[in-house]
Copies of this chain bind each other. A is one copy, B any other.
Amino acid sequence: MSRTPFDSSEYDRRLDRTRERMADGELDALFVSDPANMNYLTGYDGWSFYVHQGLVVTRDRDEPVWVGRGMDANGARATTRLDDDSIRPYSDDHVQSPRDLHPMDFVAGVIEDLGVDDGRIGLEMDAYYFTAKSYTRLREKLPEAEFADTTLLVNWVRVKKSERELAYMEEAARISENAMRAGLDAIGEGVPEYEAAEAIYSALIDGTDEYGGDYPSIVPLLPSGDHTGTPHLTWTDRPFEDGDPVIIELSGCRHRYHSPLARTTFVGDPPREIEETAEIVVDGMEAALDAVEPGVTCESVERAWREEIAKHDVEKEDRIGYSMGLGYPPDWGEHTASLRPGDETVLEENMTFHTIPGLWFDDFGVELSETFRVTASGAEPLADFPRRLFTA
């Protein structure tokens, strides 16, 4: 019944590399609750992260142990290759229980059963779905354990992509191109924002002639007018007006792999100020992409952008990109390497980044992004989409 998007040897390699890092950190066990990390290590895929769940990875046991809600055990059987003994569901009275019962009580039991309750256990302390209560509860139930913060341990294993992962990101890029075209075509004076959002969403899920699209980890964002200075507002019923800049940020998704893309359009004739800003952003983007090659640091890519825009007398020091790929809501970013001052991560072939420089002012903003792969000699943008200010 199981169908996984990668063959078992790829999951085995991922687990091996995770176990190497566990050995480095002298960890006996790792509790993985980030849904992207759960997917990465086993293939598990489902909208079940609104309840507590996770994987227990130990040094010795071949397979990780999936722990989740009873009604999601069939989902684990359907989307992973785990043996039934590696799927341990908790009963429904653990879910949002008014009694003193928490899913982490069950997780503690699994950790005991695996014989690592007196060991050193890594926890993803700053991952979205690992709550403060999950932590205090595990501490209380496992008094013999020593805990370590391993928030990004698996995330760092994810940084370099395999050929198969890159193929899914390429597929996602084709979807992103279609969705960007649909969004740009839909925007116009008098059209409500939600109609443009609908056109984009429709294209994101329709995919291409060959395959459909998965739901993206972040909804399409399309701030317009004075809201272009507020990058994370979502669409409303407001109709676009003549004179509105509109920023579209979206991502196609295949098997949870993303390839984000952002462009800016203008309703009507753009004032010279916005056209100039857009040209600076395009120049800065190209300078950043030109700076990419294996062996250089993340911060040097940001520096190339900053030096380019400084030529136009714009001063701005910012994070202009981040490593990404596999993801679940609320984010497609990996939270590992960032293109920003102070990040000395060295670029390696097959790392993938979303670089999204922008210049925002209080009353308008211009944004442009590319998802790129680090090749043997440079940066290869995954999408093929003109880099310019559009008009609607």
Seen from chain A, the residues whose Cβ lies within 8 Å of a Cβ on chain B are: 1, 3, 45-50, 71-72, 74-75, 77-79, 92-93, 95-96, 98-99, 102, 123, 125-136, 149, 151, 192-195, 197-198, 201-202, 205-207, 211-215, 218-219, 221, 226-227, 229-237, 318-319, 322, 329-331, 333, 335, 338, 340, 342-343, 360, 362
- Nearest Cβ in chain B — how far from A298, in angstroms? 10
Task: Give 16 A-B contacts (CB < 8 Å), ordered by A residue.
Answer: A46-B230, A47-B219, A50-B331, A71-B231, A72-B230, A72-B231, A75-B233, A125-B136, A127-B131, A130-B132, A195-B206, A201-B201, A202-B202, A211-B237, A212-B235, A329-B329
- Nearest Cβ in chain B — how far from A264, in angstroms? 16
A330 engages B132 (CB within 8 Å): no
A215 engages B202 (CB within 8 Å): no
Chain B residues positioned under 8 Å from A195 (CB to CB): 206, 212
A227 engages B78 (CB within 8 Å): yes
- Nearest Cβ in chain B — how far from A47, in angstroms? 5
- Nearest Cβ in chain B — how far from A367, in angstroms? 11
Chain B residues positioned under 8 Å from A202 (CB to CB): 198, 201-202
Q: A47-B221, A92-B319 are in contact. Are A125 and B129 (CB under 8 A)?
A: no
B198 engages A206 (CB within 8 Å): yes
Report copies per complex. 2
Top 9 A-B pairs, shortest CB-CB distance: A194-B212, A132-B135, A126-B133, A50-B330, A198-B205, A50-B331, A125-B133, A74-B230, A75-B230
What is the CA–CA distance of A120 and B134 in the complex, to the nearest angstrom?
21
Q: Of all chain B residues, which has the CB nearest A203? A: B198
A79 engages B233 (CB within 8 Å): yes
Chain B residues positioned under 8 Å from A340 (CB to CB): 92
Which single member of B131, B212, B231, B322 contacts A126 (CB below 8 Å)?
A: B131
Q: Of all chain B residues, which has the CB nearest A78? A: B230
A132 engages B128 (CB within 8 Å): no
What is the CA–CA distance of A234 and B149 in the complex, to the nearest angstrom?
31
B212 engages A49 (CB within 8 Å): no
Chain B residues positioned under 8 Å from A215 (CB to CB): 219, 234
Chain B residues positioned under 8 Å from A232 (CB to CB): 46-48, 71-72, 75
Chain B residues positioned under 8 Å from A235 (CB to CB): 205, 212, 214
- Nearest Cβ in chain B — how far from A177, in angstroms? 17
- Nearest Cβ in chain B — how far from A35, in angstroms? 9
- Nearest Cβ in chain B — how far from A365, in angstroms? 9
Chain B residues positioned under 8 Å from A342 (CB to CB): 93, 98-99
B78 engages A233 (CB within 8 Å): yes
